[in-house]
Amino acid sequence: MSEPIGLYIMAVMYILAGVMHFIKPKIYLPIMPKYLPNHKALVFWSGIAEILLGVSLCIAILKVISIYGIIAMLAVFLMVHFYMLSNEKAAAGIPKWILLLRIPLQFGLMYWAWMYLN
């Protein structure tokens, strides 16, 4: 365990987020932008990606590729955040100010991952 604890916290966070795609897939379906095809498959594969990237953070030889994968995944997920801002139904009653705060948070998560590149 030579890595900083923050890296393992990040790994657990992505693993748990990915698992939620399988425990509660219906919460992800309404936030999927309408212009994307096959929402069920996208929820499934994004869950798989989060789990694999989280686990890969803990494997030294895969850490760097996992970090780049997380940054790319978070960039793609911005689509969902902007969609939720522009679509009242997709916002699911979440106040607009919270939806707006999620945008810089997403970039903060990208930076957090970037910090662990050696």
Residue type (1 letter), 75: A
Q: What is the pLDDT of residues 53-86, one digit of tens each?
A: 999 999 999 999 999 999 999 999 999 999 999 9
- Give the separation between CA 55 and CA 10, rounded to whole angstroms: 10
Sorted by where each begins, the domain ranges of the chain are 5-114
Q: What is the pTM of this model?
A: 0.91
Instruction: Answer yes or no: are the C-beta atoms of 22 and 47 closer than 8 Å.
Output: yes
Q: What is the pLDDT of residues 7-62, one digit of tens each?
A: 999 999 999 999 999 999 999 999 999 999 999 999 999 999 999 999 999 999 99
Is residue 115 classed as helix, strand or coil in its secondary structure?
coil
